[in-house]
Amino acid sequence: MEISCLSLSSPDEWPHARQQCSDFLRRYSSKRLTREGYQRLASLSYDELMQPGTSIIAATVRSDVGRIPVGICYAADYGEGACMIAVHPLYRNRHIGSSLIRSQLSRLGRLRCKVAADHSASLQMCFHAGLQAIALEQGPTGKPTLIMSGTLPLNQYQSSSAPNADSIQEGDLLCQNPS
């Protein structure tokens, strides 16, 4: 498995990539993600994707047709605008979701997300990734929702530059958009 940031060779690739990400999140989220999050991703422009605090990270595996996604994590405005994660059912319970969150946290330096208090699998994923519950509020469906947050010390925060070609190892983040 490899975890890497979505990187596009040109802005023209974004509409297709955005649709693929949206379809994956919708298909494998078990209907637990908010309409607002989907709308935020659906209307996300290429320029907005390149803004600090916005990132899409995918976990992929090799297949006979190339690399295929098994998990996706989208964050906008450091998770304040949207934070959505989905993992393919065949790959759940392997800490892929936690790895995606840790990668986002490493990439962005801080991350915040909202999780329904009755969704124990998502809460466990967030806690395992190192996020902490900092507040409780009423969610969009009226359910109690925990605000999960994490911050990296400055010395652990990754710079926006991608590693050079000689140092790339499987599993390294290959993000190219600025943070």
CA angle, corner 145, sides to 136 and 30, nearest 5? 165
Domain extents in the chain:
2-151
**pLDDT at 80 (0 to 100):** 96
Specify the pLDDT at position 26: 95
Between the alpha carbon of residue 159 and those of residues 107, 131, 154, the distances in Å are 8, 21, 10
Residue 171 has pLDDT above 80, yes or no: no
Q: Which residues contact 25 (CB under 8 A, 6 or more apart)?
A: 33, 38, 41, 72, 74, 84, 86
pLDDT at 2 over 70: yes
Confidence of residue 166 (pLDDT cuts 50, 70, 90): very low
Superfamily of domain 2-151: Gcn5-related N-acetyltransferase (GNAT) (3.40.630.30)
**Which one is predicted more confidently, 167 or 25?**
25
* For residue 163, pLDDT beyond 80: no
Mean pLDDT of the chain: 87
- Give the number of other CB atoms < 10 A from CB of residue 77: 16
> What is the Cα–Cα distance from 156 to 106, expressed in whole angstroms?
7
Give the pLDDT confidence score for residue 170 in this predicted structure.
41
Instruction: Give the tens place of pLDDT for each residue, 96-135.
Output: 999 999 999 999 999 999 999 999 999 999 999 999 999 9
Share of the chain above pLDDT 90, in %: 76
Closest CA to 116 of 72, 148, 90: 148
